[in-house]
Structure 1
Amino acid sequence: MVLGDNDVTHTAATAESSAGRRVQVRRAALASAIGTTIEWYDFFLYNTAAALVFPHLFFPASSSYAGAMQSFATYAVGFAARPIGAAIFGHWGDRIGRKATLIVTLLLMGISSGVVGLLPGTATLGFAAPLILVLLRLVQGIAIGGEWSGSVLLAMEWGDQRKRGLLASFAQVGVPVGLVLGTGGMTLLSATLSPAAFDSWGWRLPFLASLVLVGVGLVIRLKILETPMFTAAVSAKRTSRTPVLDAVRHHWREILLSAGLRFSEQMPFYLFTSYVLIYVVERDEFGKTFVLNAVLVGAALELAMIPWFSQLSDRFGRKRVYLTGAVLTGLLAFPYFAVLTNGGHVAVFVVAVLAFVPHALQYGPQAALIGESFPTHLRYGGAGLGYQLASVFAGGPAPLIATWLLHETGTPYSISVYIVLAAVITVLCVLGLPDRSRADIDDASVYRRP
C-alpha cells in the first residue's frame, strides 16, 4: 500500500487545518501509546513467564541453573531478532508510510503471543515444544523491531516540534503500561491461583487476552492519517528506494551512537524487571508475588515519570536529562545488589522500585533523541536500527550474562560491575551525538543527505 494522490491531498489538507491537525495529533499520540502498550504487554508477559514458568514447563529435565539459562536463552532470541525487524519494517516504513507498517507489526505480535498461550509443554510435545517457543519468540522480536520507530514517528512527526520530547514519549509510555498490565496480570493470577493451577493454565490467560487488545489497537490505528512530514517527503519525491541501506551508508555513526546510548537504559532494565524475579525469590523468605508487586509499583511510578522527564528534555535539552539518568544508573549498581542480597522486605521493595527512576530519566527523552538524529525519508529505518541494535548486545543477553556471572564469581557485585560498564558506554555515546532538541527536523538542511 503506497500513498496515492488522494492520501497526500487528504493529509496535507488536514495538516493545514488547525482543528484537523489537533485531532490527528491526539489520535497519533493515542495510537502510539496504545500500540506500544499492546506490543510491550505481550513482550513482558514472555519475560515474566521465562523467569517463573518456562524453565520447568519447557526444560523440565534441566537443573535449576541450566533451566534458567535455557529459558533466558529463548528470551534473548527475541532481542536478537529485533534488528531484523527494524531492517524489514524500516524499509517499508520509509517506503510506503508509518501507518500501514504499524498495522502489520501489531498483528504479528498479537497473533504470536496468542499462540504462546496455547502452546503445550515438553511433556506433551516433546522436543518440538521449546523449538516452537523459540520460533514464536523470533516473530515477537521481529514485530517489536518494527514497532518502536514507527510509533515514535507517528506522534513526533504530527505534533508541535517544540514538544517533540513529550510527544515522542507517548510511545515510551507503552513500556511501563505494558509492564503494569503484563506483570499485573501475572501477579494477580499468581496470588489467587494455587501454584499447580498457575503453572498449568493460569499463566496462559494473559497471553490469550492479547488477542482482544490487538483488536482494540487495530481500530485506533486505522483511524489515523499518515504523518505530514512523510507525506511531504513523498510529494517532493524524496523517498529512497533502499532507505535502510542509505541510512547505514550515510548515517552509520548516528546508528551506532544511538545503540550505544541505550546500554545503561536497556541492560539494567531487564535485570530490574526479569532477572530480579529469580535472584530475590532464591532467598527463601521472599515469594514471587512480593517481587512481582515491587516491579509493578516501579512500573506504575515510571508511567508518571516518563512524560515529566520528556517534557524536561524539551526545556533543558535531551542530552542533559539523559546523562543524569546514565550517571545515576552507574551509582545505583552496587547499592542495588547490596540491598537485594542483605536487605529486609521493606528495603528490597524500596530499592526495586527506585531502580526505575534513572531508567525513566533516560527512556523518556530517548525516543526524540534518537528519532531527531535522522532525516524524514530515512528516519523509520535509521532510528529503528539504532534503537534495536542495542537489544543484541545490551537487553537480550543481560539476564543470561547476569545468571552466568553470579554462577561463576559467586558474588552479585560482578553484575554491578557489568551495570557500571554499561553506564560508561552510554555516557560516551551521548556525548558523541549532536543534540538536536531545538533543530527543525523537517528541514533537510540540518542533515547531510545522500
Structure 2
Amino acid sequence: MYSPGSAALPVPGFESSVSLARAHTDEDVTPGEIAVGVIIGRSSEYFDFFVFGIASVLVFPSLLFPFMSRLDGTLMAFAIFALAFVARPVGTAISMAVQRRWGRGTKLTLALFLLGACTAGMAFLPSYASVGSTAIVALVILRIGQGLALGGTWDGLPSLLAMSAPQQRRGWFAMIGQLGAPVGFVLAASLFAYLYGSLSTAEFLDWGWRYPFFVAFAINVVALFARLRLVVGQSYAELLQQRELQPVSVSQVVRDEGGNVLIGAFAALASFALFHLATVFPLSWIVMYSEQSITEVLSVQIVGAFLAAGAIMLSGRLADRIGRRNLLGSMAVLIGLFSFAVPWLLGAGSAGNNVFLLVGFVLLGLSYGQASGTVTANFSAQYRYTGAALSADLAWLLGAGFAPLVALGLSAKFGLGAVSVYLLSGAVCTLAALRINRLIERRES
C-alpha cells in the first residue's frame, strides 16, 4: 500500500499505464507535468492562507478590533484564522460527495471558485469604524468559506505523482508538493513587506493591505486552469481510476478506518505545530514585544522560507537514505530540543529573533517535507484517497490551526515557556504515533 500525497510503494506498471493512456488519447502524460500541477496548486492555497495570517497580525487588529488592546485584537484575529481549519474537514466531506456525483473537475472548480471569491471578498472588507460588528461577521463568514474550499481542493495529483516514484526515490517524490508552502510564504511576505515599507501606516491600513488579496484571486485563477488541464483530461482520469484514487464517504472512512486517520494525523503533529510557530506566531510576538521593524522581520522570514525550500528538498534525499518514518521521528526529537530554546531566543532581542526564525524554518523544511501521509499507507486501497485527506485535515486542525492563538495567548499570560510546552507536546505526539504504528505493523506481519 502507499500513502496519498506522499510516499508510495513502487508501481512497476506506471510507465505502461501512461502508454496505455496515450493509446486512448493524444494527451502527453508525464510525471513532470503532474509535479508542476501539484506545486502550482499547493502554492496558491498556501499563499491565500499566509496572506490571511500576516494580515491577522498587521491589519485586522486595527481594522476590526480598534476597541481592544493590540494583544486582544490579535488574539481575536487568530481565533478567526483558526476557523478555516475547523471548517476544512467539513469541506472535505462535502467535496467528496460532490465528486462522487458530478466528478473531480466540478469539485475542483467549485472549491477554487469559492476559495478565490472568499479571498477577493476580503479585499473589500469594510472597517469596524464604518459598519461596526458587521465587518467582523463578514470576515468570519469569508474565513469559514476559505476553510470549506480548501477541503475541496484535494485532486489526487500528489497521489498520482507519488505512485510514479521508483522505490529508491520515494522521499524525493513525497516532498514535491510540500514546496508549495515556502513558495506561497515568500510571495505573501514579499508583497506585505513591500507595501508596508513603501506606504505610510495610514495608507497601508486604508488600502495598501488589500492588494495581496487581489493577487491571491489572480493566482487562484491561474492555478484553477493549470490543475483542471490535468485532472479533467481523459488520460489522467484513467490513471486515477486505475490506481483507485476515487472518493468514498467520510463517514465510511471514519467508521472502518478511523484509527488510521488518527495515527496519520498525530504522526505529523510536530511538523504541523512548528508550521505556524515559525511563520505567523513569531511575527505577532516580535511586533508587540520587540523593537525590531516589521519589514526586517518579514525579510528574515523570507530568507528563512528559501532555507526551508532547500531543507524540503534535502529531506527527500535524506528520507531515501534512512527512511521517511525514521527521518520524521528524528526531526520530532530535534523539534523537541528546539522547543527548549524558544524562550531564550525570542527573549534575546533582534539577534535571537533572527536565529529563532532561521533555525525554525530549516527544521520546518526538514520535517514538513516528509510529514504528509507518512503512515497513511495503512489505509486499504478503497480508502486511501479520502483517508489521506482526512488525516491531513486533522493534523492541520490539531497541530497548526490554533497554534498562533494558543502560543500568543499563553505566552502573553505565562511567558514564552508556554510555547516550549506546546511545541514539545507536538513532538511527543509524533513519536508516540510512530511507535504505535510500528507496533501495529509488527502485530499484523
Q: Same fold (TM over 0.5)?
A: yes
Whole-angstrom distance in 1 between the partners of 2:238 and 2:168: 16
Mark the runs of 5 or more structure 1 residues left unpaired by the alignment: 1-10, 437-446
Whole-angstrom distance in 2 between the partners of 1:306 and 1:94: 34
Whole-angstrom distance in 2 between the partners of 1:396 and 1:153: 24
Whole-angstrom distance in 1 between the partners of 2:157 and 2:192: 26
Deviation string, structure 1 residues 98-146 (Cα, Å, up to 9, x no partner): 5553343322222211111111111222211111101111111122233
1:321 lines up with 2:327 in the alignment: yes
Does the 8 Å CA contact 1:39/1:110 hold for their aligned counterparts? Answer: no
TM superposition shift of 1:374 = 2.6
Whole-angstrom distance in 2 between the partners of 1:169 and 1:103: 25
Whole-angstrom distance in 1 between the partners of 2:81 and 2:270: 19
TM superposition shift of 1:321 = 0.8
Matched residue, 1:231: 241
**3-state SS of paired residue (2:406):** helix
**3-state SS of paired residue (1:431):** helix
Whole-angstrom distance in 2 between the partners of 1:168 and 1:258: 15
Deviation string, structure 1 residues 205-235 (Cα, Å, up to 9, x no partner): 010012221222122123214355531267x
1:364 lines up with 2:369 in the alignment: yes
Does the 8 Å CA contact 1:264/1:419 hold for their aligned counterparts? Answer: yes
Matched residue, 2:124: 118
1:202–1:261 Cα change, 3 Å = same
Whole-angstrom distance in 2 between the partners of 1:371 and 1:300: 28
- 1:147 maps to amino acid: T
Whole-angstrom distance in 1 between the partners of 2:344 and 2:157: 38
Does the 8 Å CA contact 1:263/1:426 hold for their aligned counterparts? Answer: yes
Deviation string, structure 1 residues 33-68 (Cα, Å, up to 9, x no partner): 101101110111000000111011011111222212
Matched residue, 2:4: none
1:374 lines up with 2:391 in the alignment: no
Does the 8 Å CA contact 1:333/1:419 hold for their aligned counterparts? Answer: yes
* TM-score, length basis structure 2: 0.87
Deviation string, structure 1 residues 426-446 (Cα, Å, up to 9, x no partner): 11112223599xxxxxxxxxx
- 1:271 maps to amino acid: L
Residue correspondence of structure 1 range 36-435 to structure 2 within 5 A: 36-92=42-98, 100-148=106-154, 150-157=156-163, 159-160=165-166, 162-224=168-230, 225=233, 226=236, 228-232=238-242, 242-343=248-349, 345-409=350-414, 411-434=415-438
**3-state SS of paired residue (2:371):** helix
TM superposition shift of 1:199 = 1.2
Whole-angstrom distance in 1 between the partners of 2:113 and 2:240: 23
TM superposition shift of 1:200 = 1.1
Does the 8 Å CA contact 2:116/2:220 hold for their aligned counterparts? Answer: yes
TM superposition shift of 1:349 = 1.2
Identity of aligned residues (%): 33
Whole-angstrom distance in 1 between the partners of 2:386 and 2:324: 21
Does the 8 Å CA contact 1:87/1:384 hold for their aligned counterparts? Answer: no
Whole-angstrom distance in 2 between the partners of 1:142 and 1:435: 35
**3-state SS of paired residue (1:404):** helix
Whole-angstrom distance in 2 between the partners of 1:380 and 1:98: 12
- 2:291 maps to amino acid: E
**3-state SS of paired residue (2:279):** helix
Whole-angstrom distance in 1 between the partners of 2:78 and 2:33: 37
Whole-angstrom distance in 2 between the partners of 1:200 and 1:159: 49
Whole-angstrom distance in 2 between the partners of 1:98 and 1:313: 31
- 420-429 vs 213-222, which moves further: 213-222
Whole-angstrom distance in 2 between the partners of 1:154 and 1:38: 20
Whole-angstrom distance in 2 between the partners of 1:46 and 1:115: 12
Whole-angstrom distance in 1 between the partners of 2:193 and 2:439: 40
Residue correspondence of structure 1 range 5-24 to structure 2 within 5 A: 14-15=20-21, 23-24=29-30
TM superposition shift of 1:298 = 1.1
**3-state SS of paired residue (2:42):** helix
Whole-angstrom distance in 2 between the partners of 1:144 and 1:435: 33
Across the two proteins, how many residue pairs are aligned to each other? 423
TM superposition shift of 1:97 = 5.9
Does the 8 Å CA contact 1:94/1:381 hold for their aligned counterparts? Answer: no
**3-state SS of paired residue (1:77):** helix
Whole-angstrom distance in 1 between the partners of 2:32 and 2:54: 32
Whole-angstrom distance in 1 between the partners of 2:166 and 2:112: 26
TM superposition shift of 1:159 = 5.0
TM superposition shift of 1:91 = 4.3
Does the 8 Å CA contact 1:275/1:399 hold for their aligned counterparts? Answer: yes
TM superposition shift of 1:93 = 5.1
- 2:257 maps to amino acid: H
* TM-score, length basis structure 1: 0.86
State the superposition RMSD in angstroms.
2.9
